[in-house]
Structure 1
Amino acid sequence: MPINQPININLEALRGYAAIFVVIGHWTLNGQYTPMPLVVFSPSPHLFLLVFFVLSGYVITISNKGMANYAQIINYVKKRLLRIYPIYFLALLVTLIIAGFHYSASAIFWNFAMMQDLITSPFAENGPTWSLHFEMLFYLLFIPLIFFRLNFIAVLVLSMLLAVCNYCFQLQLYPPIVSLYLLGFAFWMGGACIAKYFTAEQAEVDHAKLLSALFFILATDQMITRSGLPALRDSAGFLLFKQHLPDTPPGIGGMAIVLGYQDLALLPYCLYTVLVFSGRKLKHEGWWFTLLLMPLLYSVYVALTEPAREHAMAFAAPVGYLGLSLIFRFVNWPVIEGLGRAMVRIGAWLGSISYGIYIIHAPLLYLVGRINIAGNPLMGYLIKLSLLFALIIMMAYLLEKVFQLRIRNLISGKIKAS
């Protein structure tokens, strides 16, 4: 975001919590001992990556009203590179040190060139960097969109349709990675559409509503993606939501990128969350909330009526999240508003270092995961978890508040000197 662009504190808070939820979700998937409550209550890292895509599209669009000439385009590209690449470069160096430099020169070159996914696989110790390749592509695609003043809604719909056609008809001219790009770009364009077509809300911020929206999105993934809405699984309407892209798209080596057509079912929920946190006006917002709520309530009914009790019990966490969301939304208690304000303050600080959290957490997780602590597994896990989060916050702070700031000042000084 440009320096002269006011920061939306609420969106910054959403960004911060999304980064932390990604960390927690990945920690529960590292194959080592993890306390069951953390597994049950952990958020979906994949869902919050999709939220990141929507957030990115919103922020880039709200920060760049137009590119009328070549100089403005170059300035935009420089700002994007300055924001993304210095921290990315240093994070990859840290990753290589932790990994022991066991990668080939070719793999190292293409990862530093941000061509992972397309030409080679991301470093295994920092798998989340695959999304940075997508982000840079979306930044570039934004240039002709804004320069030629294209209809953003048409681009959003076209992205989804082309992704569907490319997959369903198995076109040989277009490899499956094109569908991955188009699916990610659909979420990114969703954020861009919010910035372009929804007017800013002038009313006082309803912090209880923000708190409700956060717990609402926490409930969404397990209720829709993990349940799969079993009773509707074979219907034509939900057919695309259960399909997955091939595990190994051409040109990505052995890595499976988790972007599938079931994600389209999550798009409305990601858009709604960003809409609420952005403060943009949404006509008949109550009716839209009700429509989004109905599939979640139906999934609760399906889970509770299934013969397998274990399946029903697995939904205790998302049901709890949904219950809290409804309480925060409809119960007018001052304490809830106060909780919302505190949630925003904490999240906004995390949001200020969220990119650093996202880009550095995987190699640090790999590093801490190799530590063996004898004795009680739970105590060992808690020690490692505390160490992990301390390292992540410290490294993210150094990357964002020290390293990035010095790089920005250095480049700004050279520009003024010239």
Structure 2
Amino acid sequence: MAMRPMSANAPRNGRLVRVSAPSSPSTRLAWLDALRGIGALAVVAEHLLPWFLPALRPYWFNLGVYGILVFFLVSGYIIPTSLERHGDVRAFWISRIFRLYPLYLSVIALVLALAWWVPVRAEVPRDGSAVAAHATMLLDVVNVGGVADTMWTLSYEMVFYLLVTALFLTGAQHRSGELSMGFAAAAVVVGLVASGAVFVGGWPAYVSAGVFAAGVACVMWGRARKPAACVLGLMALAALLLSSRVPWLGTAVLAVMFAGTAIHRWERGTGRLWPVAVTTALVAIAPLWAIESGWWWVQPDVWLTTIVLAGATFAGGMALRGRRLPRMLVWLGLVSYSLYLVHHPLLKYFVAITGDLRQADLPYQAGMAALALAVVLGVSALAYRFIERPGQALGRRISGRDAGGLQRRTDPGVAGQDPGHDGVLGHQEGQVPDGVRDHVGQGDVVR
């Protein structure tokens, strides 16, 4: 993939800030891309190490959970302000749809096409509920496994979009601190009382798909927009609390995302920082007494260390936001969504060819790991170039926004972040209760 990294100086609060601008229709925030790049490396490492270099996998913190916390902080930081800055709900949803769905559907098609070789995971229902859940991306919150393991995190991204839209249209979008604390407190309570989904079976997927389709159509085309957004928000909350796989974890994720928004408001002088501290403390204790929290990564020392590292990484990114950052990290952030969706299926296919590498000699393991990483990065670059970018361009044409228009409407306080580039990453679905073991034993097989 031919890269054309550039840099430009943009005014910000009376001083010049160097902003990295990789090949994209508008200037981007390099420090957010760098954070996505770090998160991407963490996620790939969490999937790669157990099968290629198991001796190097850390257990004093969890690489995957670290990655998801960093990425959800980034999404929380930029998504609501992107919507508020442009004030166009229709354009926001068009950008989201054309940002996420082209690659998402392509990966689904790939996994299904190769199911004769590497079967679709058993957690995916073999009925219409799987189609309904994949259509909305609300997979995890309606208790349906995704055809690609990492798709579960998109559920919480979609819930966040629905809630942010409702808050924006009802004028309650500035209550980020209260919302982050509320979701964090709810995570503690839900963990104490709920062992899993209250609503089970296929019907939550069907109902949510119907409400989602009708509601998003109304929001985009302006027919009863505010009531539709409120219904969508309530539906998202109900699914999060009553039909998600791990209610306390999903609720904690939303707390982290709204904490990211609260940080942005504090930075702009329109909010306070202490709600973020309260949220952090509540999220830190949320799994300690949870009914369903038996994984190694929610043990107090591991969980707390992971949270501290993720928060420190985000704070470090903010501290460096006016500096030139490594181009490789910025580029990894640019292709992070492709990297997120394609890397796990590719690693499965790679291991299907090479066989179990866990008993191999270390030099051979290292060589295969390097080769697998090169393949993943190459395919991610191609997916970004030929699937993501054309999809985003089509979304801009449909919504009537061009790159110049985005730059003209950009708030200098956020340096021209392209709302079509708010990517998301998550840790492996093998670390939520999907029946996937966290400590990989010698007799385990790649899922």
| Structure 1: stretches of 5+ with no match in the other structure | 201-235, 249-255, 282-339
2-side partners of 1:35 and 1:267: how far apart? 23
How many residues are treated as equivalent by the alignment?
Answer: 308
Q: Of the candidates 189, 194, 209, which is equivalent to residue 165 of structure 1? A: 189
Tell me how far 1:260 sits from its aligned partner: 8.9
Tell me how far 1:358 sits from its aligned partner: 0.9
Match of 1:49 in 2: 68
1:368/1:388 contact within 8 Å kept: yes
Q: 1:63 to 1:411 in 2, by over 3 A?
A: closer
TM-score by length of 2: 0.59
Q: 1:264 to 1:176 in 2, by over 3 A?
A: farther
Match of 1:190 in 2: 259
Matches within 5 A, 1:289-368: 344-368=326-350
Aligned residue for 2:354, secondary structure, equals coil
Matches within 5 A, 1:192-231: 192-199=261-268
1-side partners of 2:382 and 2:396: how far apart? 20
Match of 2:351 in 1: 369
Match of 2:166 in 1: 144
Answer 1 or 2: higher relative contact order, Cα 8 Å, separation at least 6: 2
Tell me how far 1:130 sits from its aligned partner: 0.3
Matches within 5 A, 1:16-415: 16-30=37-51, 34=53, 36-37=55-56, 44-66=63-85, 72-100=88-116, 102=120, 104-106=126-128, 108-113=130-135, 114-123=137-146, 126-147=148-169, 148-149=171-172, 150-170=174-194, 175=242, 177=244, 178-199=247-268, 240=286, 242-244=288-290, 246=292, 263=303, 266-267=306-307, 269-279=309-319, 344-372=326-354, 377-413=361-397
Tell me how far 1:352 sits from its aligned partner: 0.9
2-side partners of 1:151 and 1:185: how far apart? 14
1-side partners of 2:159 and 2:57: how far apart? 35
Q: 1:76 to 1:414 in 2, by over 3 A?
A: closer
Aligned residue for 1:246, secondary structure, equals coil
Tell me how far 1:353 sits from its aligned partner: 0.5
1-side partners of 2:256 and 2:96: how far apart? 19
Q: 1:238 to 1:179 in 2, by over 3 A?
A: closer
2:252/2:283 contact within 8 Å kept: no
1:368/1:384 contact within 8 Å kept: no
Q: 1:410 to 1:377 in 2, by over 3 A?
A: same
Tell me how far 1:411 sits from its aligned partner: 4.6
2-side partners of 1:127 and 1:136: how far apart? 17
What are the superposed Cα offsets for residues 170-223 of structure 1, whole Å, 9 maximum, x if unpaired? Answer: 4979547343332110110111111112139xxxxxxxxxxxxxxxxxxxxxxx
2-side partners of 1:414 and 1:356: how far apart? 22
What are the superposed Cα offsets for residues 353-399 of structure 1, whole Å, 9 maximum, x if unpaired? Answer: 01111111110111111223699533442342123112211221122
- Residue type of the alignment partner of 2:140: D
2-side partners of 1:191 and 1:414: how far apart? 29
Q: Which has the larger radius of gyration?
A: 1
2-side partners of 1:377 and 1:107: how far apart? 44
Aligned residue for 2:28, secondary structure, equals coil
1:241/1:265 contact within 8 Å kept: no
TM-score by length of 1: 0.63
Aligned residue for 1:370, secondary structure, equals helix
1:56/1:191 contact within 8 Å kept: yes
What are the superposed Cα offsets for residues 139-160 of structure 1, whole Å, 9 maximum, x if unpaired? Answer: 1111123331341111111111
1:152/1:189 contact within 8 Å kept: yes
1-side partners of 2:376 and 2:166: how far apart? 37
